[in-house]
Amino acid sequence: MGQSYNVAVIGAGAAGLVTARELQREGHRVTVFEKANKVGGTWLYDSRVESDLLGLDPNREIVHSSLYKSLRTNLPRQVMSFMDYPFVKRESGDRRPFPGHEEVLRFLQDFARDFGLMELIRFGHEVIRVELVDEVSHEWVVESRTRETESRWESKEEVFEAVVICNGKNTEPKVAEFPGRDTWPGLQMHSHNYRTPEQFKNKIVVLIGNGPSAKDILKEISPLAKQVHLAFRGSDIMLINLKIYDNAWPHSPIECAHEDGKVVFQDGSIVEAEVIIHCTGYKFHLPFLKSNGIVTVDDNRVGPLYKHIFPPSLAPWLSFVGINYRVSFYLPFDQNVSWELNVTSEQEVAVSSPNAMSHPSEFCSNALVFRVIELQAIWVAKVLSGKVKLPTQEAMAASVEEFYEQMEKAGLPKYHTHSLQNDEGEYVSWLAAQSDIRPPKSWEEIRFFSFVKGIFGHGENFRETWDVDKWIQEIESSD
């Protein structure tokens, strides 16, 4: 056994749960703070929406989950497994390869129960302050509050030796900016607050975005809506097949919106719309972290973080698990709407290519989250117990600086710091090597790129038409 510390974990979503398990396995004493009354985080569907549907009011009551009612995973269950805890098909459950969200929640609930994590979790405890109070003995104060009555909160301070932040990254909406947005008279919402399609019946809707949420919401509202207009960057390549809809049209981004209801796009087209849905992603939000300016969130860069996890000067006593996501950049190689494109590795252009930023189409998605968070959690737990050594503080800081410089040289915006882009496989292998883990050989083939390829290859109904089980079985049997 190595060193054992008193560690606070913030959040009991997938990242917090797997972190708690790994910390416990390494012999640390773990307390998980969870503001909800159940485990699951994002996967805990909540039919409520926020009072400000765009999420601009800082005083609104936050609804954590961004799931819509009909959501099914966009990754097969096999890659949402943990290494020694597969996401298996249960006799009485949702046995589809891309299951509904309820099935993911059950998987996480079972995971928490089977590894004895429920006893470690303080439900209904929202962390409102994490502050380093003693640098020498690395003492952190964690202040949490619980709701006593509708209007009264009780708060409490406790001291820990280490803190791991797993508070999620899909709750605080990032919204599109355009002149006239705040005076446009129609209904505006962020996809965070989209639940069901009924309210869009017979409406003229503008959807901003070109990612998985825009794609799913379009599919769901188009049979009811009068018209759907998609506004997105990089219009030279379209990642959503609009040809199958007879009431949906592509546009360039919104130029401005007028008080008479008109929405003007950069390509000059004008639509008199009633609803705008911003499917524009999320921002990191760490209101509770008081680090004397050591860790900041700047244009969605949480930093400085060594390998997206440890702030060099606070390592290993403060860490983050689960902040990565994935963006692929595609070169505009075809001027036409090109759903039928056959994505090959040549067309998925390395982000370091100077051309990649000329007119990229960005496809933001979830990366292979469960693999990444499990390996991050194992590394954090082993670093804390002293079994795995970190480089010196100076070396970690230099590595972060070098990474930022590389991003700048490649013309990558700061807000994509935590995107794993096209090097996800490399990052996963690097993380695994730190903890001396050899991931299954099949991981090399069953990786994000193969899913993009599969999704493109199988069309809009890929969840039904792609026999992903067979494909994965064949690869795994060669392990």
Helix pair 14-25, 369-385: axis angle to 10 deg: 30
Tracing tokens 């307390």 back to the chain, one arrives at 31
Asked whether 139 and 159 are in contact (CB, 8 A), the reply is yes
Burial class (CB in 10 A: 0-12, 13-18, 19+), 116: exposed
Determine the Cα–Cα distance for residues 240 and 476; give it in Å rounded to an integer.
30
Closest CB to ligand FAD among 356 and 378? 378
What's the distance, CA 49 to chain centroid?
19
Closest CB to ligand FAD among 128 and 397? 128
Residues 120-139 that bind ligand FAD (CB under 6 A): 126-127
245 to 284: interface string for ligand FAD, x by CB under 6 A: ----------------------------------------
Q: Of the candidates 20, 23, 36, 381, which one interacts with ligand FAD according to CB under 6 A?
A: 36
CB atoms within 10 A of CB 178: 20
- Is residue 67 a contact point for ligand FAD (CB under 6 A)? yes
Supply the minimum distance, in Å, between the C-beta of residue 327 and ligand FAD.
14
Residues 299-338 that bind ligand FAD (CB under 6 A): 322
Q: Considering only 59-67, 347-355, 404-412, 440-448, which stretch makes contact with ligand FAD by CB under 6 A?
A: 59-67
Total binding residues for ligand FAD by CB under 6 A? Answer: 34
- Is residue 55 a contact point for ligand FAD (CB under 6 A)? no
199 to 228: interface string for ligand FAD, x by CB under 6 A: --------------x---------------
Supply the minimum distance, in Å, between the C-beta of residue 18 and ligand FAD.
8
Closest CB to ligand FAD among 41 and 304? 41
In angstroms, the Cα distances linking 413 to 15, 249, 357 are: 26, 28, 10
**Tokens found for residue 184:** 């446009």
Determine the Cα–Cα distance for residues 176 and 162; give it in Å rounded to an integer.
37
Tell me the one-letter amino acid at 424: E
343 to 382: interface string for ligand FAD, x by CB under 6 A: -----------------------x--xx------------
In angstroms, the Cα distances linking 212 to 85, 151, 219, 367 are: 27, 38, 11, 12
User: Which conformational region is residue 27 in: left (phi greater than 0), alpha (psi within -120 to 50 degrees), or beta?
Assistant: left
- Is residue 15 a contact point for ligand FAD (CB under 6 A)? yes
Q: Considering only 28-36, 259-267, 413-421, 471-479, which stretch makes contact with ligand FAD by CB under 6 A?
A: 28-36
Closest CB to ligand FAD among 80 and 384? 80
Determine the Cα–Cα distance for residues 199 and 197; give it in Å rounded to an integer.
6
Q: Which run of H or E residues covers position 122? A: strand 121-123
Supply the minimum distance, in Å, between the C-beta of residue 68 and ligand FAD.
7
Determine the Cα–Cα distance for residues 68 and 85; give it in Å rounded to an integer.
27
Q: Which run of H or E residues covers position 473? A: helix 468-477
Determine the Cα–Cα distance for residues 355 and 360; give it in Å rounded to an integer.
9
Asked whether 102 and 76 are in contact (CB, 8 A), the reply is no
Burial class (CB in 10 A: 0-12, 13-18, 19+), 198: exposed
Closest CB to ligand FAD among 236 and 460? 460
Closest CB to ligand FAD among 224 and 286? 286
Q: Of the candidates 5, 8, 66, 374, which one interacts with ligand FAD according to CB under 6 A?
A: 66
Residues 166-185 that bind ligand FAD (CB under 6 A): 166-168, 170
Asked whether 345 and 330 are in contact (CB, 8 A), the reply is no
Determine the Cα–Cα distance for residues 440 and 240; give it in Å rounded to an integer.
32
Q: Of the candidates 8, 12, 205, 264, which one interacts with ligand FAD according to CB under 6 A?
A: 12
Supply the minimum distance, in Å, between the C-beta of residue 145 and ligand FAD.
9
Q: Of the candidates 20, 30, 41, 111, which one interacts with ligand FAD according to CB under 6 A?
A: 41
Supply the minimum distance, in Å, between the C-beta of residue 39 and ligand FAD.
7
Q: Of the candidates 53, 54, 75, 237, which one interacts with ligand FAD according to CB under 6 A?
A: 75
Closest CB to ligand FAD among 17 and 204? 17
Q: Of the candidates 5, 8, 9, 11, which one interacts with ligand FAD according to CB under 6 A?
A: 11
- Residues near ligand FAD (CB under 6 A): 10-16, 33-36, 41-43, 64, 66-67, 71, 73-75, 80, 126-127, 166-168, 170, 213, 288, 322, 366, 369-370
